[in-house]
Structure 1
Amino acid sequence: MTDPEQGPPTSENPPAVDPPTARRSGLRNPERAVRGLGAGTLGLEALVLLLAIQPIRVVGGDLSGAAIGAVVALAVAGFLLAGMMRRPWAWNAGTVLQGLLLLAGLLHWSLFALGVIFALVWAYALHVRRVILG
């Protein structure tokens, strides 16, 4: 309906329209985009952990069998969590994974360095998730 005080709608006087219920992010499917961010982050972390074993052994000194086992276990957990990002608890489990990687730093200093880097990346992913999903 037009407001009698405004007169009929014209190019200078457009009709009153209710504000659209648009998504905050402008994405077609923000939940899917955020899941992809989390899965990509965890998958990249797992891949880096697996690829880091040999350089750490060669350059960083002695990497014990326990440290190698921890790296492989964390990488497998990262790949599994990347595939489970549809589950609501997967984000919390990803946060726990970052803490476990930091704890693996007790086995070798380079694992702590990787833990700090990926904890910061994960914190950014959580921030983006909060901004997009509200």
Structure 2
Amino acid sequence: MSGSDPVAGPDTPPTGRRSGLRNPERAVRGLGSAVLALEALVLLLAIQPIRVLGGQLSDAAIGLIVGLAVLAVLLAGLMGRRWAWHLGTLLQVALAFGGFLHLSLAALGVIFGLVWAYALHVRRVILA
């Protein structure tokens, strides 16, 4: 093959885009929104099992859970904004620090922190 061959090699993206997605920004926004929506759902559904199985949840812990779930839903709708990704990271940190109120909140914080870190990695790879 010569250097002027128009056929792309196996490492060359066909359209200049690394991911091959038609709209990579939209795909990444959808991933971030899905992670936050799932997190909000899990947080709200976790209140009762934590109360029954894990001991007493204080009013502050319940307030934190509901507040973080509401924030997650709001951020899920705002993922098109660049600052929403940073605020989503702060949400994960706040949930992890919720472990000072109840240990199960720290566990949820670590789990969703890892999921969020993966979403940030995918975002970086796709939009690079």
1:85-105, Cα deviation, whole Å (9 max, x unpaired): 011101000000000001111
Residue in 1 that maps onto 2:20? 26
TM-score by length of 2: 0.90
1:17 aligns with 2:11: no
Q: What is the rounded CA distance, in whole Å, between the counterparts of 2:15 and 2:118 in structure 1?
A: 27
Larger Rg: 1
Residue in 2 that maps onto 1:54? 48
Q: What is the rounded CA distance, in whole Å, between the counterparts of 1:67 and 1:33 in structure 2?
A: 34
1:60-84, Cα deviation, whole Å (9 max, x unpaired): 0000111000000000000000000
Q: What is the rounded CA distance, in whole Å, between the counterparts of 1:73 and 1:21 in structure 2?
A: 43
Equivalences, count? 122
1:75 aligns with 2:69: yes
Which runs of no fewer than 5 residues in structure 1 stay unpaired?
1-11
More helix by share: 2
Q: What is the rounded CA distance, in whole Å, between the counterparts of 1:76 and 1:49 in structure 2?
A: 10
Residue in 2 that maps onto 1:111? 105
Q: What is the rounded CA distance, in whole Å, between the counterparts of 1:130 and 1:16 in structure 2?
A: 31
Which runs of no fewer than 5 residues in structure 2 stay unpaired?
9-13
How big is the alpha-carbon RMSD for the aligned residues of Structure 1 and Structure 2?
1.8
Aligned-pair identity in percent equals: 70
